[in-house]
Amino acid sequence: NAGVTQTPKFQVLKTGQSMTLQCAQDMNHNSMYWYRQDPGMGLRLIYYSASEGTTDKGEVPNGYNVSRLNKREFSLRLESAAPSQTSVYFCASSGLGGQPQHFGDGTRLSIL
Amino acid sequence: DQQVKQNSPSLSVQEGRISILNCDYTNSMFDYFLWYKKYPAEGPTFLISISSIKDKNEDGRFTVFLNKSAKHLSLHIVPSQPGDSAVYFCAASEINQFYFGTGTSLTVIP
């Protein structure tokens, strides 16, 4: 049971570079989410997708774009990375009706 | 402005005793509350939840209490075990969005 798979697990970027974080779930969940976790800040929602074909902004969307490629996959793109985007990024998915979220193991991203 | 707050960054408890983790929220529209457990280098794992129409939910050693008038949520772990040592996040949900607290690091001392 893979659950939620995130790639890559670690990445170092230079300021201004772009990259895409990948997320895939195999639980047939409708909703998918991207969070960032920073020290002392908990998890903050960047974007979410309530169902295939829809995406919505969360608390901290600036500097990010997302694509819900199909029901399984939800990617997060940094077009021009900034040091303030150094963080641990978590992808999550959930079923209908506010069911609990299942999380991936995170992508640790450092921007120099 | 943080809608879900965990005011205790850390908690230490002796093995076998009760651990009580607290959480406060500000949005009265939240209708679903959850607790997650997180080990280092792993994603959060769902532990227990409670609907806003209930005031208590139990699952084995874990019990969640909800006091809507006080906008307060707590997690009780009885008895505490060393394997319970982790960071615990509370979360609250409204429609499709989940809001997380900053976490409480629990250490259970053998």
Tokens of B14: 């002796």
Among all residues of chain A, which has the CA nearest to that of B47?
A100
Task: Determine the residue of chain B that is closest to A33 in CA distance.
Answer: B97
By the CB < 8 Å criterion, does B89 face chain A? yes
Find out whether B88 and B103 touch, Cβ atoms under 8 Å.
yes
**Nearest C-alpha in B relative to A51:** B96
**Residue environment code for A47-58, b if the CB has 16+ CB neighbours within 10 A, otherwise e:** bbbbeeeebeeb
* Smallest Cα distance from B18 to chain A, Å: 24
Q: Render pLDDT for A58-105 as a digit per residue (tens, 0 to 9).
A: 989 999 999 998 999 999 999 999 999 999 999 999 987 668 889 999
Residues of chain B predicted below pLDDT 70: none
Straight-line distance from the first to the last Cα atom of chain A, in angstroms, rounded to the nearest whole number = 35
pLDDT number for residue A1: 57
> How many Å apart are CA A112 and CA B5, to the nearest integer?
31
Contacts with A104 from chain B: Cβ below 8 Å: 43
Question: Contact B43/A4, CB-based, under 8 Å?
Answer: yes
Q: Look at residue A98 in the predicted model and tell me its pLDDT.
A: 65
pLDDT band (50, 70, 90) for residue A39: confident
